[in-house]
């Protein structure tokens, strides 16, 4: 019996957008995660310039969603896929355990901490994992603070230079009284007091070096990309932004999840045959400043090419959105022919990364 072999299709990104990132309890806090996601999705489809009925499948879980979408296109299951991520940390509820409430009451569980920021294997906070890695690399509090403050400076400079306008879609937020407000830029990068920054107390351990300042805040936002096979893009006369070169995952022990991007990137470079020196820009998701610092050291890559317009520390980290945001940003800031890599670690010990070429 003969079977038709499956060829691997070339995949391109034809649009990539995101909402501004709102602060916790800030301008976007009245909007649900699904609303933020829908705004990004609608804009991504509109900017792609393709009929809505061409979209065959919708994915929404950050970078991994984009990778799954790429795989779907590569094997020919679909011609066009929309993928992305969304998060409204302002609206994550508190949990009350089901069952009879004992005399004296019961405690509420913070959904953010319970489902997002606690290691499921060892039941310790992600910040404790980061502190463990800090000790391995002997990073000082001063080094981490300076790295974080530099991220804020880079984001402010990028806004001054109008770097983000191609990727942003404005969000209209209804108000109880008066007209809706229009949110057009990230809120977080302006919420900085450099004089107080170095005086912040450790956030996770009494003698720790990680603070609210050199960690990413809690945020809201949505991002989406439209991906197509190169053949479908040609057929519909859709101009792509970038093409996908490759993707990879990497794993470490759960306590060392902050170091997993180096493993994923090493795997990616081996798979693609690309030299690290040929990468023009690196986007490393930064839940803590030490993540970028550690992985830069492990990989031996040029820090001048990493997060050149700021990071999750200065821009915000809506957990479900961030992976897609990194990809969207690279799509718009790379120059034609340049290669970019985006990577993000995740609780549990893993990391994912993707390489694209600007078209």
Which positions are annotated as active-site residues? 59, 345
Q: Strands 339-346 and 279-284: what pairing?
A: parallel
Contact between 350 and 260 (Cβ < 8 Å) = yes
Task: Name the burial class of residue 303, with classes exposed (0-12), middle (13-18) and buried (19+) by CB atoms within 10 angstroms of its CB.
Answer: middle
Note the helical H segments in 28-162.
33-48, 62-74, 111-115, 126-137, 141-160
Contact between 83 and 65 (Cβ < 8 Å) = yes
CB atoms within 10 A of CB 321: 33
Note the helical H segments in 190-310.
194-197, 230-235, 260-272, 289-299
The structure tokens listed for 150 are 């530099």
Sign (positive/negative) of CA torsion 162, 164, 165, 170? negative
The structure tokens listed for 310 are 């700021």
List the one residue out of 92, 83, 31, 95 whose CA is nearest residue 58.
Answer: 83
The structure tokens listed for 212 are 């609210």
- How far apart (Å, rounded) are the C-alpha atoms in residues 222 and 242? 20
- How far apart (Å, rounded) are the C-alpha atoms in residues 167 and 44? 10
Question: Which DSSP string do the residues of 79-98 spell out, in sequence order?
Answer: SEEEEEEEEEGGGPPEE--S
List the one residue out of 72, 43, 74 whose CA is nearest residue 59.
Answer: 72
Instruction: Please report where in the chains the tokens 């806090």 appear, as a residue.
Output: 29
């Amino acid at each position: 019996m003969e079977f038709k072999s499956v060829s691997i299709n070339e995949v391109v990104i034809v649009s990539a957008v995101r909402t501004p990132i709102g602060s916790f309890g800030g301008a976007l806090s009245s909007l649900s995660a699904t609303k933020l996601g829908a705004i990004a999705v609608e804009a991504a489809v509109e900017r792609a310039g393709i009929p809505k009925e061409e979209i065959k499948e919708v994915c929404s879980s950050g970078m991994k969603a984009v990778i799954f979408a790429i795989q779907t296109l590569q094997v020919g299951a679909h011609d066009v896929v929309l993928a992305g991520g969304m998060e409204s940390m302002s609206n994550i509820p508190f949990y009350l355990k089901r069952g009879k409430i004992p005399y004296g009451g019961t405690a509420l569980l913070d959904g953010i901490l319970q489902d997002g920021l606690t290691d499921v294997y060892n039941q310790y906070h992600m910040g404790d994992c980061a502190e463990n890695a800090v000790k391995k690399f002997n990073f000082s509090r001063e080094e981490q603070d300076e790295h974080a403050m530099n991220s804020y400076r880079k984001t402010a400079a990028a806004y001054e230079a109008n770097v983000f306008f191609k990727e942003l879609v404005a969000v209209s937020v209804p108000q109880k009284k008066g007209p809706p407000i229009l949110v057009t830029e990230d809120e977080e990068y302006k919420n900085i007091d450099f004089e107080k920054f170095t005086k912040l107390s450790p956030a996770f351990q009494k003698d720790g070096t990680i603070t609210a300042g050199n960690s990413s805040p809690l945020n809201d936002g949505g991002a989406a990309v439209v991906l197509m096979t190169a053949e479908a893009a040609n057929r519909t006369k859709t101009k792509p932004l970038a093409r996908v070169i490759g993707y990879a995952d990497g794993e470490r022990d759960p306590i060392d999840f902050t170091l997993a991007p180096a493993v994923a990137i090493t795997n990616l470079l081996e798979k693609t045959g690309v030299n690290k020196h040929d990468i023009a820009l690196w986007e490393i998701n930064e839940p803590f400043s030490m993540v970028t610092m550690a992985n830069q050291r492990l990989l031996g890559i040029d820090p001048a090419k990493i997060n050149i317009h700021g990071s999750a520390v200065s821009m915000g980290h809506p957990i479900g959105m961030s992976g897609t945001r990194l990809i969207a940003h690279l799509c718009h800031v790379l120059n034609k022919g340049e290669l970019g890599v985006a990577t993000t670690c995740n609780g549990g010990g893993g990391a994912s990364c993707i390489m694209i070429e600007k078209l």
